[in-house]
Structure 1
Amino acid sequence: MSVQQEKFYEKKNDSASDEFAKDSKEVRHIDNVGENINAKLANPLAHIPHDQLVADAVKFAHSHGLGQYEDEFKKGAVLAQDPTAFETLPLLTDEDRNVLRREITHKWDQPKTLYWLVIMCSLGAAVQGMDESVINGANLFFAPQFGITPTSSSSNSWIFGLVNSAPYLCCGLLSCWLSAPLNQYFGRRGTIFISATISFLACIWQGLTNTWWHLFIARFFLGFGVGPKSATVPVYAAECAPPAIRGALVMMWQMWTAFGIMFGNVCDIAFYHVPDKPGITGLNWRLMLASAGIPALVIMSQVWFCPESPRWLMGKGRYDKAFESLLRLRTSRVQAARDLYYIHVLLEAEAEVMSGRNRFLELFTIPRNRRATLASLIVMFMQQFCGVNVIAYYSSNIFSQSGFNNLQSLIASWGFGMLNWVFAFPAVYTIDTFGRRNLLLISFPLMAIFLLMTGFSFFIPDSAEKARLAVVALGIYLYAMAYSPGEGPVPFTYSAEAFPLYVRDVGMGLATAVLWFFNFVVAITFPPLLDAFTAQGAFGWYAGWNIFGFIIILLFVPETKALSLEELDQVFSVPTHIHAAYQLRALPRNIKKYIFRMKNVEPMPPLYEHEGAIGEKTYAPGGTGHA
């Protein structure tokens, strides 16, 4: 406990402060196992003398067939220990310093190969969005053709939901768990190629079906393209990108998925008026479903022109190929040598600390990991149960029930997709300024309000149909505007940074599988839910889940914005009951200060050491004690 905190408690001198002071001692406890492993992985080169670093780098270069780059690896090893010290390192030339300086001042000045890789990853995200959204328009046509219109019987509602949710059933139960072996044997590019190929073939297959169960099978196999791609593309981008723009590239997954959802709505509108041909019934919806395969075909033909992940190549012992890959992805040899050497020592450290360990079990048996797992699964679960994919998959049906004709429903659905994409752009800024937790705490109440607004608008009588249509559309659009900069980008970003390095890939696999499983639950249950509860009850149901989401995020999801690995260890080493109790104490103070704008609100002591002295930080709404 700091001197300032001790003075704070002495000054307070009341029972409440004594209780918090007692809890604060427990907060300082760090789980030894997780801390030691994470500290070793945080920087394996820390405290190694420069002479030894240089000697190790020379040995490394010659032992891996890279002896001709000996000078570059000498510089790279010293830079890997402290990338910020390049101005004072005698080994570096002025040209080297200029390159490294520009890496900071012009972080988007990157090789064309890296930008081509970014385009391919963005296209992969867009395929994901199209796979999810083209079914929206097709729903209006294949359901009556196959005799499964959801309003005709309760069994039809379940069948209709099952057909829509088939890919996500596959993702949650099978395909996400295949991502690891696929990546192990075929690499990042190979896994992306395989998943894109499956997506292309399954999209064409969907357009050739003539029964609901055949369409279900085709869409189930589509899940083998959706799951591995969603788990691999962000990892591929992160492993190839320089640290300065890594976060922004990982963020692009959500942004371009939103673009794909919007473009899928465009395809639905484009094929709406396509007439049937002799012997072909429902050509329009068949083309809608097949259209998502075209960008997948582009990925199949282009992904091999991108370099493979250097980390994967090194894991296979192919250091020469890994260096060639980095030379294509970096501006200079010094940068490539620095990153290659750091990946090498990190892989060695991981192999050392993970010998004989079960990483999946340690997600739950080590308290620090367990709290990160709980927080990550909460945000992943709530991304589905906030109701966004109810609108993404069924908005055409919702608009149709409110009084729009079919074409108007598709145009209104395109409006939702467009807003979902456009309002994802501010998240690039807000997620690192307002923080992950604060965005969620603002987003969930707004989403609840707009879902209630949408549901209650169905009470407007038929005599005021135009007013009902306007309020339904407005409610859904406002919902999209609240979702996209908040719960939209946060789950993947949060999960990627909450887990310790040594269990990050396993934790992300679990989090992704949970997301897709509950995506399936939402998709299969909404048609019968809409049939049983009516639109008012169905939207009220998800509004209730958003209120629930606000509560559990307030209590169990700490902030992770701009924290080092050591600070993250400290954050997730706070016992859950202490974190929850602190947030309950902070909530009324923050309501007074940030909602009612009251002055002289008594501050609370910080919950974590890294938050500094009392009064040095601003206190965020419902927050952790920092903005």
Structure 2
Amino acid sequence: MATDKADSQSGGTTGEKAVYRKDSDHSDISRAEVENNRPTQDTGLDEGQRKRLEASSKLENPLAGLSPQRLGQRGEDFCKQHGITDEEDIRAFRLGAMIAGNLNKYDTVEGLTDREKDVLDREITHKWSNPTMLYAVIVICSLCAAVQGMDETVVNGAQIFYKEQFGIGDPNSQRDSWLVGLVNAAPYICSALIGCWLTEPLNKKFGRRGTVFISCLISAAACFWQAFTNTWWHMFIARFALGFGIGPKSATTPILAAECSPPKLRGALVMQWQMWTAFGILVGYVADLAFYEVPDRGIDGLNWRLMMGSALIPAVVVVALSPRWYLTKDRYSEAYQSILKLRYEKVQAARDLFYMDALLQVEKEAMQIEQSKFKEIFTIRRNRNAAIASEIVMYMQQFCGVNAIAYYSTQIFIDSDFSEKSALAASLGFGAINFIFAIPAFYTIDTFGRRKLLLTTFPLMALFLFYTGFSFYIPKGTARVANVALGIYLFGAVYSPGEGPVPFTYSAEAYPLYIRPFGMSLATATTWFFNAVISITWPTLVQAWTNAGAFSWYAAWNIVGWFLVLLFLPETKEKTLEELDAVFDVPLRSIMRYGIAQAGYFWGHIILRRKMRSPTVPTSANTIEYTREQFMKEKHHDPSARV
């Protein structure tokens, strides 16, 4: 048994939601009965599709229908089977199994100490109260995103030197413009066409954390390689190899964080991918400035070589600090010792490891069912709606225009009348803003919500890109410099808490478990493909349309993005897996009608101050939802808890 899976899926029941039906006298009916009596909403499913949906349902709660006595016995059997002999540990697994299978309603479990009850209480009442090691695992894994961020910006500064050295620096040559764009885009071409599609086989072979480890090794080697290139095509090959690291890493890390996180913290923890990408962007600009004036000392282009090579630093840090994992199967005792570091009490660790093992057994059954995952993304409504929403946010993350600035800001500032060194300093300012304004998203992504963040920030991004583009009509001088910089900085300030963190967070949580790695591969392939398109085409776009036209082009896309989010993107904040099924498994026209009604409500109630009822979010839920928060209210005799 791999500890990486223990770490990645531990806490799977923490914060989970169970679904109950309640009759008139409030007696509980088991979830198994609910599932057996729930009407099928996707008609026309073949036998294979039906089995896979049933397997996905089992993955959400593999312990449904077991009595507390049976659960306790299974906990003890787990210890005997895997060589866990300490009496205290056996007690922890007996109680942990009972809690895991009883919807975390720990008050019904006898034998817990006051300390254990208090810790289990705090999982609900203090959502940020978790062991430091849990956050450390997520931070260390997410740090690999800094490799991507650093690459975006070290190449930003380095290209003003190496394009001249490689003979592709003529601003009036269409050939040179295309080649500069092609070299910049190389990692993302590889990620889109090959790298992202390695995610699922690598995850199966090495687990989540193993994939992160391997991809960071590849990234470190490729960054080192870039520093020793001497022609544009050699640089292209080295950067293409970098895509073999970026692709699997970018798809796996958000999944790992999503699976580790309780629902109330999922957005904040998953968005660390974007947070550390922004940090890498900032550090990359720092490296550009730090090495700008380094003399050659017998090596042609030593300054830009140091810039490109410096991007390996965060990858090496991840490789050095990443907690060890166990790739050999059946090393359960070691897995248990590892997960203890991520929980306050043994009963928590035992609960999560026991639940995760049950989850893995069902997962193995699901994997044995013959399936065409690509087909099922588009033929099953729940998957199709998730795919549409995920593809929209991933596409718009690129076509909002941010990476045109990230890759070419130095040249953009030079075109607006900055000197080379001042342009690098101005780019550093953009990196700092991008990082600083990503910090508030820790709070807003799980309170304000994914959908609202995008609907608020897309119009502002459009406005500031139009402002930046039109500033190029100002005659050269201080006024143009100031206005171009202001427009880019304001754009960065609204991008960072919105379209920055939302796409990877949204995509990592939107798909059902059995198809999630494939869905995330599709999502990341989309973002890297259009990342490559922007990188390749920006120099030629500026050459053809000028900076004013190029910025206006992406400003217009932000307006398109606002309408796409309004019509096709359901809200996913604080939703458990079962809630997400209910949110996505509705007719697409219902989601679109809700978006139109929401826009009407905003205009009538917020702008015109009329009394209006807010539209109801469409869901397919046919049952009364029973949450752990509901349990806490009942525990404290809150009358509002009655259903």
TM-score (norm 1): 0.86
Contact persistence 1:150–1:528 (CA under 8 A): no
Aligned equivalents of 2:561 and 2:281: distance in 1?
A: 24
Which residue number in structure 2 is paired with residue 262 of structure 1?
282
Which residue number in structure 2 is paired with residue 162 of structure 1?
182
Q: 1:573 to 1:294 in 2, by over 3 A?
A: closer
Which residue number in structure 2 is paired with residue 599 of structure 1?
610
Alignment map for 1:488-499 (pairs within 5 Å): 488-499=500-511
Alignment map for 1:82-481 (pairs within 5 Å): 82=102, 84-104=104-124, 108=128, 110-111=130-131, 113-149=133-169, 151-239=171-259, 245-278=265-298, 280-303=299-322, 306-308=323-325, 316-358=329-371, 359-462=373-476, 465-481=477-493
Aligned equivalents of 1:335 and 1:244: distance in 2?
A: 18
Deviation at 1:116, TM superposition (A): 4.2
Aligned equivalents of 1:103 and 1:81: distance in 2?
A: 17
- CA RMSD across the alignment: 2.5
Contact persistence 2:265–2:446 (CA under 8 A): no
Aligned equivalents of 1:405 and 1:120: distance in 2?
A: 37
Aligned equivalents of 2:95 and 2:519: distance in 1?
A: 34
Deviations, residues 301-323 of structure 1 (Å, cap 9, x unaligned): 332xx1427xx77xx44323322
1:544 and 2:556 matched: yes
Deviations, residues 16-72 of structure 1 (Å, cap 9, x unaligned): xxxxxxxxxxxx973374764443332222332111111222222222223443221
Q: 1:52 to 1:190 in 2, by over 3 A?
A: closer
Deviation at 1:602, TM superposition (A): 5.9
Contact persistence 1:38–1:565 (CA under 8 A): no
Aligned equivalents of 2:364 and 2:218: distance in 1?
A: 33
Deviation at 1:244, TM superposition (A): 6.7
Q: 1:610 to 1:472 in 2, by over 3 A?
A: farther
Decide which structure has greater helix share: 1
The correspondence for 2:84, drawn from 66, 69, 83, is 66
Aligned equivalents of 1:339 and 1:549: distance in 2?
A: 40
Aligned equivalents of 1:486 and 1:187: distance in 2?
A: 30
Contact persistence 2:139–2:272 (CA under 8 A): no
The SS at the match of 2:418 is coil
Deviations, residues 375-396 of structure 1 (Å, cap 9, x unaligned): 1111111101111111111100
Range that drifts further, 230-239 or 396-405: 230-239
Aligned equivalents of 1:436 and 1:507: distance in 2?
A: 19
Contact persistence 2:457–2:498 (CA under 8 A): yes
Deviations, residues 568-594 of structure 1 (Å, cap 9, x unaligned): 222212211232234234423322323
Range that drifts further, 599-608 or 217-226: 599-608
Deviation at 1:107, TM superposition (A): 5.1
Aligned equivalents of 1:402 and 1:95: distance in 2?
A: 63
Aligned equivalents of 1:95 and 1:586: distance in 2?
A: 46
Deviation at 1:611, TM superposition (A): 13
Which residue number in structure 2 is paired with residue 620 of structure 1?
none
Aligned equivalents of 2:566 and 2:623: distance in 1?
A: 22
The SS at the match of 1:459 is coil
Which residue number in structure 1 is paired with residue 546 of structure 2?
534
Q: 1:107 to 1:612 in 2, by over 3 A?
A: closer
The SS at the match of 2:194 is helix
Q: 1:300 to 1:103 in 2, by over 3 A?
A: same
Aligned equivalents of 1:580 and 1:235: distance in 2?
A: 28
Range that drifts further, 345-354 or 532-541: 345-354
Deviations, residues 124-178 of structure 1 (Å, cap 9, x unaligned): 2222211222111112111122221262211111100001011111111111112
Q: 1:236 to 1:540 in 2, by over 3 A?
A: same
Contact persistence 1:240–1:329 (CA under 8 A): no
Deviation at 1:194, TM superposition (A): 2.6
Contact persistence 2:264–2:446 (CA under 8 A): no
Aligned equivalents of 1:245 and 1:58: distance in 2?
A: 31
Aligned equivalents of 1:576 and 1:505: distance in 2?
A: 23
Deviations, residues 167-214 of structure 1 (Å, cap 9, x unaligned): 111111111112232333334444333322222222222121121111
Deviation at 1:354, TM superposition (A): 4.6
The SS at the match of 1:431 is helix
Contact persistence 2:377–2:383 (CA under 8 A): yes
Aligned equivalents of 1:609 and 1:199: distance in 2?
A: 43
Range that drifts further, 388-397 or 54-63: 54-63
Aligned equivalents of 1:255 and 1:470: distance in 2?
A: 27
Contact persistence 2:145–2:280 (CA under 8 A): yes
The correspondence for 1:55, drawn from 50, 73, 83, is 73
Q: 1:298 to 1:581 in 2, by over 3 A?
A: closer
The SS at the match of 1:461 is coil
TM-score (norm 2): 0.84
Aligned equivalents of 1:107 and 1:199: distance in 2?
A: 34
Contact persistence 2:265–2:574 (CA under 8 A): no
Give the gaps of 5 or more residues in structure 2.
Answer: 1-38, 44-49, 625-643
Identity level (%): 54
The SS at the match of 2:144 is helix
Aligned equivalents of 1:322 and 1:258: distance in 2?
A: 33
The SS at the match of 1:399 is helix
Q: 1:368 to 1:415 in 2, by over 3 A?
A: same
1:31 and 2:5 matched: no
Contact persistence 1:35–1:569 (CA under 8 A): no
Contact persistence 1:150–1:527 (CA under 8 A): no
Deviations, residues 436-457 of structure 1 (Å, cap 9, x unaligned): 1111111111111111110011
Contact persistence 1:171–1:513 (CA under 8 A): yes
Which residue number in structure 2 is paired with residue 622 of structure 1?
none
Deviation at 1:257, TM superposition (A): 1.1
Which residue number in structure 2 is paired with residue 45 of structure 1?
63
Aligned equivalents of 1:433 and 1:108: distance in 2?
A: 14
Aligned equivalents of 1:134 and 1:529: distance in 2?
A: 22
Alignment map for 1:481-520 (pairs within 5 Å): 481-520=493-532
Contact persistence 1:169–1:520 (CA under 8 A): yes
Q: 1:113 to 1:564 in 2, by over 3 A?
A: closer
The count of aligned residue pairs is 576
Which residue number in structure 1 is paired with residue 11 of structure 2?
none
Contact persistence 1:606–1:612 (CA under 8 A): no
The SS at the match of 1:163 is helix
Give the gaps of 5 or more residues in structure 1.
Answer: 1-27, 614-627
Q: 1:296 to 1:570 in 2, by over 3 A?
A: closer
Aligned equivalents of 1:602 and 1:64: distance in 2?
A: 57
